A = this chain, B = another copy of it.
Amino acid sequence: MIRPKALLFDVQGTATDFFTTVTSEALRIDRGRNDGVDWADFVNRWRAAYFTAVAATPTPAGTWTSVHSIYRRTLDALLRDAGVEYTDADAEDLTLAWQRLVPWPDAVPGLRRLSTKYTLATLSNADVSAVVNLSKRGGLPWDAIFTAEMVGAFKPDPATYSTAARYLGLPHGEIMMVASHKYDIRAAAALGFQTAFVARPLEFGPTAQADTEYDDAFDLNASDFIDLADQLGT
């Protein structure tokens, strides 16, 4: 393996723990008013509805649909379907939880080590403001924040990966895409990027199943960002 010069990181799920953050925010905002709701399950259904909505969102040139608006729209539909009592302010506050996602415990120490040798950037489908806000709050030491919003297309659209490479001024082969989602790194691999799979067994909480199986098709498989830093010699 040729050492990459830069690493691109997925954010929601790979660098941050959305399940714990959004579930605890939902419980805080609900204040027990809807105690029949399984908020952990609700958050996973919300995340799934977001994924479906992003994949179905057209992105013609010159237009953009914010991920905040997609989260909000899917939330409103889920709350309505579940018959949950919620004010508009509560729904907005809960949607903003995606801008407050907490890093996995290994993320900041792992990234600090990786930062000594590599340029570190995000490549996220989340809005720029969401990645900026959660990174500042959580102390994630990115050298740059790139997101789908800057490209006008969502991952796994090839334009997202190739635009990030152009911004970095590097050929695809000198950049490693890091994610806990295989569709994401497979799309990058198809464009000549190096790939690292990071297992996040708790991505959907302690009872749901995440795909954590290593695959030799990827350049690296790591158990967390510390392991990634070890394998990349930092």
Chain B residues near A119 (CB, 8 Å)? 132-133, 136
Chain B residues near A169 (CB, 8 Å)? 68, 127-130, 133
Chain B residues near A149 (CB, 8 Å)? 167
The reply to whether the CB of A220 lies closer than 8 angstroms to some CB of chain B is no
Minimal beta-carbon separation of A134 from chain B (angstroms): 11
0 or 1 for each of A170-182: is its CB under 8 Å from B? (1 = yes): 1000000000000
Q: Dominant SS at the A interface?
A: helix
Complex-state Cα separation, A214 to B144, whole angstroms:
33
The reply to whether the CB of A145 lies closer than 8 angstroms to some CB of chain B is yes
Which residue from chain B places its CB closest to the CB of A66 in the assembled complex? B169
0 or 1 for each of A101-132: is its CB under 8 Å from B? (1 = yes): 00000000000000000010100000111101
0 or 1 for each of A151-171: is its CB under 8 Å from B? (1 = yes): 000000000000000011110
Chain B residues near A168 (CB, 8 Å)? 128-129, 132
Q: Which of B127, B167, B170 contacts A150 (CB 8 A)?
A: B167
Chain B residues near A68 (CB, 8 Å)? 169
The reply to whether the CB of A135 lies closer than 8 angstroms to some CB of chain B is yes
B132 touches A136 (CB 8 A): no
30 contacts between A and B (CB under 8 A): A61-B61, A68-B169, A119-B132, A119-B133, A119-B136, A121-B132, A127-B169, A128-B144, A128-B167, A128-B168, A128-B169, A129-B167, A129-B168, A129-B169, A129-B170, A130-B169, A132-B143, A132-B144, A132-B167, A132-B168, A133-B169, A135-B143, A136-B143, A143-B145, A144-B144, A144-B145, A145-B145, A149-B167, A150-B150, A150-B167
